[in-house]
């Protein structure tokens, strides 16, 4: 019986071929011990539910070390071309009857442009807070509040220091969040209530990293910590100390802070209270 050639190849070579498929693009990811669907989605910039759908994974999204996941859309997922529209059919001219006065046009009142969902009210964004962030007044708990999730997060600064070293840039892959200055060992706080879905050092360049899920739309990330004070599965409240600031994966003590909306990085300064 003839065996396929791949049966005689080492396992590492088969995995390498998967990683290099798709004309050099990262189409697949081999799950390492300790990784979660949230951390993998965070790494590749996709919502965790999207990667779960590509791989047929259902809640609670358990992964196994060595599992190969698709982490990019398939080329066959492009939408089909729209069919050519048929030629217009001429209709007979309507019979002209007695003219009637045209109805009075009713002008629609223009509504002010709505702010993006999840953004705190303008008044809350402009309020300056001193000291560590505390329990906010406008954070609304969701129906699954026993899991720590909130329907509308009230974002607070994750550190007492508010000196931004590097800002967010949508066009720069190296600036998916903001870098905030701080002293080594100073407290890092949860920017909103939620559940820890990743705590570890498995993502390159992020050092000791914590990812908190706030609801089905928002995640926040806290990188370069010196010490983690929470673990995966812990429910945290806004203002709770979750880590000690450090320089793991960085050249100086700082906190790299990100907010992800449906898996995509957004500018944290649009959500955090202003000075």
Per-residue pLDDT of the chain (275 residues; tens, 9 = 90+): 544 444 444 544 444 444 434 334 568 999 998 888 888 888 888 998 899 999 999 988 889 999 999 989 876 554 444 545 555 555 555 555 454 544 454 444 444 444 444 444 444 444 333 334 443 445 665 544 456 788 889 999 999 999 999 999 999 988 999 999 999 999 999 999 999 999 999 988 899 999 999 999 999 999 999 999 999 999 999 999 999 999 999 999 999 999 999 999 999 999 999 86
Q: What is the C-alpha to C-alpha distance for residues 225 and 187, in angstroms, rounded to an integer?
A: 10
Helix (H, G, I), strand (E, B) or coil at 11: helix
Q: Decide: 47 and 39 in contact? Cβ < 8 Å.
A: no
Q: Decide: 226 and 247 in contact? Cβ < 8 Å.
A: yes
CATH homologous superfamily, domain 10-74: LysM domain (3.10.350.10)
Provide the pLDDT for residue 108. Answer: 45
Taking each helix axis as running N to C, give the angle between helix 48-55 and helix 37-44, from 0 to 180 degrees, rounded to the nearest 10: 110
Give start-end residues of each CATH 3.10.350.10 domain in the chain.
Answer: 10-74
196: left (phi over 0), alpha (psi -120 to 50) or beta: beta
Phi then psi for 37, rounded to 5 degrees? -65, -30
Q: What is the C-alpha to C-alpha distance for residues 31 and 68, in angstroms, rounded to an integer?
A: 6
Provide the pLDDT for residue 190. Answer: 98
Phi then psi for 245, rounded to 5 degrees? -65, 145
DSSP bridge pairs for 227: 244
Provide the pLDDT for residue 119. Answer: 44
Give start-end residues of each CATH 2.70.70.10 domain in the chain.
Answer: 138-270
Provide the pLDDT for residue 53. Answer: 92
**CATH 3.30.830.10 describes domain 138-270:** no
Provide the pLDDT for residue 254. Answer: 97
Residues constituting the chain: 275
How is residue 157 written in tokens? 């600064």
Helix (H, G, I), strand (E, B) or coil at 147: helix
Q: Running DSSP on this structure, what letter comes out for residue 246?
A: B
């Amino acid at each position: 019986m003839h065996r396929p050639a791949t049966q005689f190849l080492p396992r590492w070579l088969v995995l390498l071929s998967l990683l290099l498929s798709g004309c050099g693009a990262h189409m697949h990811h081999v799950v390492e011990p300790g990784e979660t669907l949230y951390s993998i989605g965070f790494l590749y910039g996709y919502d965790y539910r999207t990667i779960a759908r590509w791989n047929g994974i259902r809640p609670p999204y358990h992964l196994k070390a060595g599992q190969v996941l698709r982490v990019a859309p398939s080329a066959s997922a492009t939408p089909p071309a729209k069919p050519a529209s048929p030629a217009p059919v001429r209709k007979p001219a309507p019979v002209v009857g007695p003219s009637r006065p045209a109805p009075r046009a009713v002008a629609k009142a223009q509504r002010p442009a709505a702010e993006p969902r999840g953004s705190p009210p303008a008044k809350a964004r402009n309020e300056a807070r001193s000291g560590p962030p505390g329990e906010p007044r406008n954070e609304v708990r969701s129906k699954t509040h026993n899991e720590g999730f909130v329907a509308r997060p009230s974002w607070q600064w994750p550190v007492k220091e508010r000196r931004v070293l590097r800002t967010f840039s949508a066009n720069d892959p190296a600036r998916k969040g903001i870098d905030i200055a701080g002293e080594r060992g100073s407290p890092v706080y949860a920017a909103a209530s939620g559940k820890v879905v990743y705590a570890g050092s498995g993502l390159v360049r992020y050092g000791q990293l914590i990812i908190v899920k706030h609801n089905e739309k928002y995640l926040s990330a806290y990188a370069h910590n010196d010490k983690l004070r929470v673990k995966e599965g812990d429910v945290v409240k806004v203002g709770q100390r979750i880590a000690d600031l450090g320089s793991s994966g960085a050249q100086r003590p700082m906190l790299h802070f990100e907010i992800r909306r449906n898996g995509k990085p957004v500018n944290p300064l649009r959500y955090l209270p202003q000075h």
